[in-house]
Structure 1
Amino acid sequence: MDALSCLIDDTSQPDCFEGIKYDTFHLSHLFHADDLLVFEKADARNFECLMRILNHFSNLSSLHLNLHKSSLLISPHATNASCISHAFHIQNSSTKFFYLGLPISIRRSKLSDFFPLIEKVTNLLSSWKVKLLSFADRLQFIKYTISNLAAYWLRGSIIPKIILKAISKASSKFLYHVGSQSKHLQLISCKNTTKPYSRGGPWYCLTSCS
């Protein structure tokens, strides 16, 4: 992968690959395991250069591009999107696709893009046998499972406040109300309950982790 990165960033040739440039910022590609995300100027010459680099890398390493698992995300301002997709036999994903469970879009994210997150949180909370868990167990589940899931989504996009409120409401119900019919007096908010002990959280957070 280091060799492929060097091939993409090589500027010694007159017909070199062009990434995205804005002022002093330059981005051409990102790696994650065996996945490659390429950011480039949308024109035929640039795509030909990229395919030439990938074919050269394939001949050297015997690692080949899987066109069936590849997607294009082309700006709607580009006039040759269909031509590029047809010429290189790579599916054009219009304006959005999901990568590692996160939505990647060239436009601002919509509320519907975060419905999979709400569904995932709901399934996690409802799949547990709530009556068999103690208060400390439910607290730890929220802190280290639900919170980590939300933090993972934050790496890829800004989560709308209405989605965060929905997650907080579901977590509060899971923490304080054992079963849908129970009505318990809630003296401390869920937000304050899940704070760490060093920041004023309840003492049982420390004892349950020991």
Structure 2
Amino acid sequence: MGFFKDFHEQGKFIKSINASFLVLIPKKGGAEDLKDFRPISLVGSLYKLLAKVLTNRLKKVMGKIVSNSQNAFVEGRQILDASLIANEAIHSIQKSGGGGVLCKLDIEKAYDHVNWSFLLWLMEKMGFGTKWISWIQWCIGTVSFSVLINGTPTGFFQSSRGLRQGDPLSPYLFVIVMEALSCLLKKAKEGGFLLGWRLCGRGGAGVEITHLLFADDTLVFCEPSIDQVSHLSWLLMWFEAMSGLKVNLDKSEIIAVGRVENVEELALEFGCKVSKLPSSYLGLPLGARFKEVAIWDGVEERLRKRLSFWKRQYISKGGRMTLIRSTLSSMPIYCMSLFHMPRSVSLRLEWIQRDFLWGGGALERKPHLVDWSIVCLDKRKGGLGVRNLALLNKALLCKWS
């Protein structure tokens, strides 16, 4: 408690407390290039306690300082909101017979490039007090790093920008920085430089949408005109100059929605590649039909991939039952929370679970000793407590009705 009291009064702590070890985590299998690795900071427990206390206080005001376009790390908002709004916007444009373009932006090394001076200035403009800003400045400015090479630390060095992945404060501070992009897009809309999409409602009253954010995952809705895309390109350059966050055009995409004939020309102006619907956003299908079976191909593939790691091992029936309840029946939940699961898909996924349970882990077609409807019953009713995917899907979709 003395440590917290001293920091509250003086706004400082011993710099060695803020030392971190850097570990490189591969983003994908077979990673060789430096860009294929993600640096994760191993932060000391004492600093983590302090950062967690500050984070818990920061959480309470995030909803007041962050616009409705941002759906990450704000109480009462969730990742599904962004995906649902994006899909509804696309379906509305397609139904109206109009056209528009959707820009999927990828922020390059997002956390690593944050400009500290800009972050602190932004916090001041948002109304944070001098003491709060000095606390944050000390927390991010006294960081020292040591790279772990084969588990052994090397010498320490300091950074002049960026936020640590592993620091409890980092996600919230990053969202504050991304709020500047949201404000720029709003100002561009008010000035007529970026018109966005106008979506018609049932009562005739429409709503305008220009962008959606989930941390650094950004969607920008534009009209299919060279001027609009050019204005967006200039806006992103200004944002990079202020915040240090650069859009990676090699990974960014421009997608035509509805009747758009000049998408190649727009992509050339923006400097990114052309993609098409259906695409994906936040790990969910984007622009796919609500009841399309192809939506679930990725889910089934992930289930079979997970099982491929288990089928080489001997696992008892009790162990297989535990894996089904804890892992296999949970993997489709994210997609089931937004999309209706066709009966053919639910039957396929249930067959995978049945074969794993009765086939000795090798996915062999062996006799199923008990009807699956009984297996899905509660344990108090004689079942094994496995989730019924079709019923679970209906329950998850009820929250949108």
TM-score by length of 2: 0.44
CA contact (8 A) 1:136 1:204 kept: no
Counterpart of 2:261? 79
Contact 1:19 1:41 in 2 (8 A): yes
Give, in whole Å, the separation in 2 of the partners of 1:131 and 1:174.
12
Residues 195 and 37 from structure 1, CA distance in 2 versus in 1: closer, same or farther, beyond 3 angstroms?
farther
Answer whether contact 2:290 2:339 (CA < 8 A) is retained. Answer: no
Matched, 1:51 2:239: no
Tell me, what secondary structure is at the counterpart of 1:68?
coil
Counterpart for residue 324 of structure 2: 142
Q: Which deviations, in whole Å up to 9, do the C-alpha atoms of 1:128-156 show, x marking residues without a partner?
A: 14873333332332233223221122356
- For residue 14 of structure 1, report the CA deviation from its aligned partner: 2.7
Q: Which amino acid aligns with 1:151?
A: I
Name which of 303, 307, 321 aligns with 1:125. 307
Deviation at 1:121, TM superposition (A): 1.1
For 2:346 and 2:385, the matched residues in 1 are separated by: 25
Q: Which has the higher contact order (CA 8 A, sep 6+)?
A: 2
1:166 matched residue in structure 2: 348
Counterpart of 1:202 in structure 2 is 383
1:67: Cα distance to partner?
0.5
Identity of aligned residues (%): 25
Residue matched to 1:208? none
RMSD: 3.1
1:27/1:144 CA distance change after superposition, 3 Å:
farther
Which residue of 1 is the match for residue 185 of structure 2?
A: 8
User: Residue in 2 aligned with 1:21?
Assistant: 198
Secondary structure class of the residue paired with 2:279:
strand
C-alpha distance in 2 between matches for 1:130 and 1:204: 26
CA contact (8 A) 1:194 1:201 kept: no
Q: Give the match's secondary structure for 1:10.
A: helix
Deviation at 1:127, TM superposition (A): 2.4
**1:196–1:32 CA distance, 2 compared to 1 (3 A):** farther
What SS does the corresponding residue of 2:354 show, helix, strand or coil? helix
Which residue identity is paired with 1:7? Answer: L
Distance 1:8 1:109, change over 3 A: farther
Which of 83-92 and 29-38 deviates more? 29-38
Q: How many residues align?
A: 202
CA contact (8 A) 2:376 2:385 kept: no
- The structural deviation recorded for 1:175 is 1.9
Q: CA deviation at 1:195?
A: 5.1
Kept in 2: contact 1:15–1:49 (CA 8 A): no
Q: Does 2:367 correspond to 1:183?
A: yes
- Deviation of 1:106 after TM superposition, in Å, equals 6.1
Seen in structure 2, the aligned counterparts of structure 1 residues 204 and 156 have a Cα distance that, compared at 3 Å, is closer
Q: Which runs of 5+ in 1 are unaligned?
A: 206-210
Q: Work out whether residues 291 and 342 of structure 2, in 8 Å CA contact, stay in contact via their aligned partners in 1.
A: no
- Distance in 1 between residues matched to 2:288 and 2:259, nearest whole Å: 11
Find the counterpart in structure 1 of residue 44 from structure 2: none
Q: Separation in 2 of the partners of 1:167 and 1:92?
A: 33
Deviations 1:20-46 (A, max 9, x none): 222443332222332212223222232
| Secondary structure of the structure 1 residue equivalent to 2:231 | helix
1:68 offset after TM fit, Å?
0.1
1:61–1:201 Cα change, 3 Å = farther
Q: 1:87 to 1:107 in 2, by over 3 A?
A: farther
5+ residue gaps, structure 2, are 1-177, 200-204, 387-401
Relative distance call for 1:81 and 1:97 in structure 2 (3 A) is same
